[in-house]
Structure 1
Amino acid sequence: MNVIWRTLLIMLRAKRIRKREGDLPLDGISRVRLTTLPTDIDLLRHMNNGRYLSLFDLGRWDMTTRTGLGDAFRTHGWYAVVANETVTFRKSLELFQRFDVETKWIGHDDRAVYMEHRAVVDGEVYAQAIVRARILRRSGGPVTHEELFEAVGFDGGMPDIADWLHEWADRVRLPSARAEAPSVWE
């Protein structure tokens, strides 16, 4: 099953859960149960390292739908883009193994919001990803955190991120899309 079909199923499931249970708080934890499918594995017979990030997207879709952010994005003409992400692996997910994708907003800085994703089996973390995302307007320009939080009725305040995340974001940042970025190997 391609990830697009999984995405659509996750979004439908998230809408049902939201209707039944109400909005997930922006500082809540989203959990999506998945199974490692034949299309997820590589020649070594475990989940392909690139597939983790695709499946962690499902956690973001679930979180976006269940918190009401998806509705706010449509209403205001906003969208989210991943600016940076990093993933760390601990254990391999095997074919047909069940696991949960856990997703949580972990903070923000002056330009972006940060989320953590985990692949979890029986309460044990197998892989973890940190994602830095920007919220932008289709008409151009960024959405402020105040606008974002107000749109979903979140007044709890999102914590500032840890210092190492500031350093990571600075070290992996590429030039702006409007600036030149020649491919020169040193």
Structure 2
Amino acid sequence: MNLIFRLIYTFLISRFRSKVGALEECRTPYRCWPTDCDVLGHINNGVYFSMQDLARIDYMIRMGAAPKFSANGWYPVVAAERMRFKKSIKPFQKFQISTRLAHWDDKYTYIEHKFLVKGEPVAWGMIRARFLKKSGGLVSTEELLGVLGIPLQKPEMPAHLKAWAEAEDRHIEAVLPTKS
């Protein structure tokens, strides 16, 4: 983890921040440090993904899910992710990451991240995740939603998310075909 001090800070501070519901937006504040930047003087593209990891940890702690997942021996893994950039975040600039559960299906959860500077979106990320059991195997969406207290009835998948998910499925099958 290249952001170890932020990770430790997240574990210490998130318990004292306001609670959020599983279907609510969770905003996590940050500041861009020079060590986050590349030679062009803005946040390095790879750092965005690491910052999203931290924001998801904050989200899981603040919604009270982290101890439930731990008690069940579950842990999340990212299956796919994407990032879109609109404007740069510069050194010492304050920003927030808005994190929310955007959708779920029978196999994956989809988490959306928006990077906000003064309330304006400057970057957008989406992950597709699964939960695994330390004892082996997958956590079903039904099990996951049950622990989070979310009704099983899933909302209609937004068209942009559906297009991305289908493209991911086609791509993975093309590069890593399943054996017949």
Smaller-chain TM-score bracket: 0.7 to 0.9
Tell me the percent identity: 35
- One-letter identity of the residue aligned with 2:15: K
Of 48, 56, 70, the residue aligned with 1:74 is 70
Q: Which residue of 2 is the match for residue 136 of structure 1? A: 132
Q: Which residue of 1 is the match for residue 167 of structure 2? A: 171
Closer/same/farther in 2, CA of residues 34 and 152 from structure 1, 3 Å limit: same
Instruction: Report how far residue 73 of structure 1 moved.
Output: 1.3
Show structure 2 runs of 5+ residues with no match: none
Q: Which residue of 2 is the match for residue 61 of structure 1? A: 57
Specify the SS of the correspondent of 2:20: coil
Aligned length: 175
Instruction: Report how far residue 110 of structure 1 moved.
Output: 1.5
> 1:70, 1:57 → 2: CA distance?
14
Instruction: Encode CA deviations 1:17-37: one digit per residue, 9 max, x unaligned.
Output: 2xxx5x421001111110100
Q: Is the 8 A contact 2:73 2:134 kept in 1?
A: yes
Which stretch shows the higher mean deviation, 63-72 or 35-44?
A: 63-72
Specify the SS of the correspondent of 1:120: strand
Q: What are the within-5 Å matches in structure 2 for residues 103-118 of structure 1?
A: 103-118=99-114
Q: Is the 8 A contact 1:56 1:101 kept in 2?
A: yes
> 1:31, 1:166 → 2: CA distance?
25
Q: Which residue of 2 is the match for residue 183 of structure 1? A: none
> 2:32, 2:159 → 1: CA distance?
34
> 2:156, 2:11 → 1: CA distance?
29
TM-score by length of 2: 0.88
Instruction: Report how far residue 160 of structure 1 moved.
Output: 4.0
Specify the SS of the correspondent of 2:87: coil
> 2:153, 2:30 → 1: CA distance?
31
- One-letter identity of the residue aligned with 2:41: R
- One-letter identity of the residue aligned with 1:123: G
Q: Which residue of 2 is the match for residue 184 of structure 1? A: none
> 1:168, 1:147 → 2: CA distance?
25
Q: Does 2:36 correspond to 1:46?
A: no
Show structure 1 runs of 5+ residues with no match: 181-186
Instruction: Report how far residue 177 of structure 1 moved.
Output: 8.2
Specify the SS of the correspondent of 1:91: coil
- One-letter identity of the residue aligned with 1:77: G
> 2:66, 2:125 → 1: CA distance?
22
> 2:156, 2:128 → 1: CA distance?
13
TM-score by length of 1: 0.85
RMSD, aligned α-carbons: 2.1
> 1:47, 1:166 → 2: CA distance?
29
